[in-house]
Amino acid sequence: MLGIYGKLMEMRRDGVPYGSKIVEEIMSTNFWPDGKPAIAFRFGEFTFDCESRLLLCGGMERHLSPKAQQVLRLLILARPRALSRQELYDALWPSTFVCETNLASIINEVRRALADDVRAPQYIRTIHGFGYAFRGEVASSAPFGIGEVVLQCEGEKHQLFNGENIVGRAVDARVVMTYGTISRRHALITVSADALSITDLDSKNGTYVDGQRIGRSPVEIRPCARIEFGAIVASILSRRVVSTQSLRLNLGPKHLSR
């Protein structure tokens, strides 16, 4: 089976425009190791803590700017796949034009923090004419979700975890959906110890709860609520939200006329 880069080369050889097709394939892939988001990644002498946003080497902090932290996280989550420059541009600067040297500067910042030699890379590999990939063995630790909270959509299941879960087409969303009516950052589902809520993130086609379009104010998801992401139907399954009782949210047919 061809990898992403192999498919890119094959499409280039055949003269096929590959941008959107590669983006869709990469973004439809579950980047979380074993299907669960990790709190911390350990590789070599380094530990990268996603929650505290700290990169440690032998217990000592190595400074990384927010953009460099995001790049490192994306490359680790995508491993062993390579991410194209365009994927990284879309994740770092959505809907914004930036100079090509900006990404190269951030990659160099990550390499300096990791003491990684571009000529003999241990962690950040350059794929000339395409993008970058993370190499090396990585150990990760995953957080415990409250109960079992799962977003089910189009035959796929996405586990939700305690805290914020962004739903959208963005490569760094917690739940990646590549459907045409889904915005890059479409909605935010927040899971807490005693509640489940949803917020729209100014999406183009809207988020609906029980037929009502919601805004940026959080709306509690109650039993039997109907939810739609634009024209996409999904369902949330949970064994425990407020109590040990089972909660199943059956979501109705999509509103194609909106």
d(CA 40, CA 49): 4
In our burial notation (b when 16+ CB lie closer than 10 A, e otherwise), range 233-252 reads: bbbbbbeebeeeeebebebe
- The per-residue pLDDT for range 182-205, each reduced to its tens digit, is 999 999 988 776 678 899 999 999
Contact call for residues 45 and 58 (beta carbons, < 8 A): yes
Task: Note the pLDDT tens digit of each residue in 208-248.
Answer: 988 889 998 888 887 667 789 999 988 777 654 333 233 23
pLDDT at residue 78, rounded to an integer: 81
Segment 130-159 shows an average pLDDT of: 76
| pLDDT (tens digit per residue) in 107-142 | 999 999 999 999 999 999 999 999 999 998 888 765
Least confident interval from 12-26, 40-54, 181-195, 216-230:
12-26
